[in-house]
Amino acid sequence: MPFTVHGLPVSQGIAIGHVHLISHALLEVNHYHVAPRHIEDELARLDEAVATVQGELVGLKAVTTSGQAHSEVGAFVDLQLMMLADPMLVDAARQLVESRRCNAEWALVQQMEHLVEQFRQIEDPYLRERQADVVQVIERLVKVLLGHPGHLPPKRRDGLGTIVVAHDLSPADTIGFRDHNIAGFVTDVGGPTSHTAIVARSLKIPAVVGLHHVRDLLEDDELVIVDGTRGVIIVAPGDEIIEEYRLRRSELEIERSKLNRLRDTRATTLDGESINLMANIEGPKDLPAVKSANADGIGLYRTEFLFIGRDNLPDEDEQYEAYRAVVKAMPSKPVTIRTFDVGNDKALNGVHSRMEPNPALGLRAVRYSLSEPKMFLTQLRALLRASAHGKLQIMVPMLAHAQEIDQCLALIEKAKAELRAEKLKFDEGVQIGGMIEVPAAALSLGMFIRRLAFLSIGTNDLIQYTLAIDRSDEAVVHLYDPLHPAVLKLIAGTIATGARYGLPVSVCGEMAGDLAYTELLLGMGLRNFSMHPGNILEIKQQILRADLGELAPKVQRILKMDEPARIREAVERLVA
Ligand code: PEP
Ligand code: MG
């Protein structure tokens, strides 16, 4: 009997294949006593396992650096290698073997539980998630100790792929599978930012995660369909269902190849209005994706990723190199670089260790930059120096007060004066813009328009602050609503005011890359979208079918509505 199981869709597409169950080695660990005369042997067994896993990871690392896998995967492998070398992990387990006279795998699991508990108490969600790396490294060690054969699936000859079903997958696991005709990933745990999700997306393999006890429901070799777009798996499907999904899969493939043909087409609406589609990036590593989508520029470079997760901050030269690399890769296209937005969920090592009562409302973004003028000045100097190489624009996040802009502008002038004195080149006319992310800013645009050259609406934060919902708090995620009438009024008001005063306005929050809102934003008058580069071609396709003359009056009517269900229905009807 066919049945379906629902989870979270984290990597789009459809896969049809046979189940390959990955065992959960950690559940198989027994505890036994080791006689004192065998302790040395037990420690040697542990050391050997560590050396084996180190070798495996170094091998995987070589694959990632040879360009056969995504660079993010390489970073995960590095992190796991670091953990393996950390005394908190292996040395602590060695001590347990000695003091409790226990077997090595049991000692490792004890130490893992202790570390995971410590990670759980970390406030920062990114660091908290790293507990998964600890578990994955220990699981690898335990598998070696238990003498498990490698868990690579057999290569199939029937043309169908393999659906890997696991409790969780480490990035290293996923690279190991690369030559094994893996069609899909299915896991018990995980969310949109889990490793499996990130890696599956980068390898373009459909994946559904967060299916709880799915491993208990499936048998090895069973036929399943993974619908990574809807977040469903269909177990033991009949011939008709398989045929239907085959058809949908080929339609999706045709869609995808058609999209690539739009790469060099200008995003122009049916009534001839040209729209700029720009990319959001976190650093030079994202440039290949920007190139393959042929973005019209960089609308948001989140520079904080250069600062977070490290002990020593990048100096002026390191920053200059990173900014220059991006500017030079985008000749004659605008590159909007945002000054670092740390704080809240993007903490700097050691800086936000004090317990802030409410980090989202605390010292973050421009507030943090202005509280560390030396560090801010270093970034401004690096940005200005990079401006000598192309069309660089500087953007300041989370502004709410006129004096914040004035202080930023004064620091930029100071940086310029220093560079002039040092005879270092920069673009004298570099444009300075600000992000509209706080309702107070969206409601007092005059003071921004008088001081700045462009605005960009950060809808992620604008929604968070308008609705008083911490965007990193799962408990209130259901209240995060881009279509709330208050949010729509603030976005539309900002776009309209910018147009009235001739100031360019873009949207660079997630809404810009979401097909559900393209017509709505176009109808509000938005002409500059900035999004994850992977979304650009899909959004372009939607724009090519849109007619602004038709959309504008419909959107004006939506903006007068204040009943959420009616707004939602009307926005859905806008989609061509
Ligand atoms: C936003 O808030 O919409 C935005 C683009 O900035 P970030 O997501 O980096 O806070
Ligand atoms: Mg923001």
Q: Which numbered ligand comes closest to the C-alpha of 304?
A: 1
pLDDT of residue 39: 93
Phi, psi of 436 (to 5 degrees): -100, 100
Note the pTM of the prediction, 2 decimals.
0.67
Q: Could you tell me the domains of the chain?
A: 3-23+153-258 (3.50.30.10), 37-146 (1.10.274.10), 273-575 (3.20.20.60)
pLDDT of residue 27: 62
Q: CA 318 to CA 66: how far, in whole Å? A: 24
Token output for 103: 């077997």
Can you list the pairs that 242-251 forms with residues at least 24 positions away whose Cβ atoms lie under 8 Å? Answer: 242/16, 245/14, 245/16, 246/16, 248/14, 249/13, 249/14, 249/16
pLDDT of residue 68: 46
Q: CA 309 to CA 288: how far, in whole Å? A: 23
At 202, the pLDDT band (50, 70, 90 cuts) reads low
Q: Is 102 designated active site?
A: no
Q: CB-hemisphere CA count at 13 Å for 355? A: 3
Average pLDDT across the chain, whole number? 88
Q: Going by CA atoms, what residue is nearest to atom 1 of ligand 1?
A: 458
Q: Is 389 designated active site?
A: no
Ligand 2 centroid to residue 438 C-alpha, Å: 9
Overall average pLDDT of the 152-162 stretch: 67
Q: CA 536 to CA 276: how far, in whole Å? A: 10
Q: CA 163 to CA 13: how far, in whole Å? A: 13
Bridge partners (DSSP) of residue 20 are 164
The answer, yes or no, to whether residue 150 has pLDDT greater than 60, is no
Candidate list 18, 167, 195, 352, residue with the active-site label: 195
Per-residue pLDDT tens for 293-318?
999 999 999 998 888 767 789 999 99
Q: Is 27 helix (H, G, I), strand (E, B) or coil?
A: helix
In this structure, the residues whose C-beta lies within 6 A of any atom of ligand 1 are 300, 302, 341, 437, 458-461, 508-509
The answer, yes or no, to whether residue 69 has pLDDT greater than 50, is no
pLDDT of residue 354: 44
Ligand 2 centroid to residue 510 C-alpha, Å: 10
Token output for 540: 């372009």
Overall average pLDDT of the 251-279 stretch: 93
Ligand 1 centroid to residue 15 C-alpha, Å: 33
pLDDT of residue 175: 61
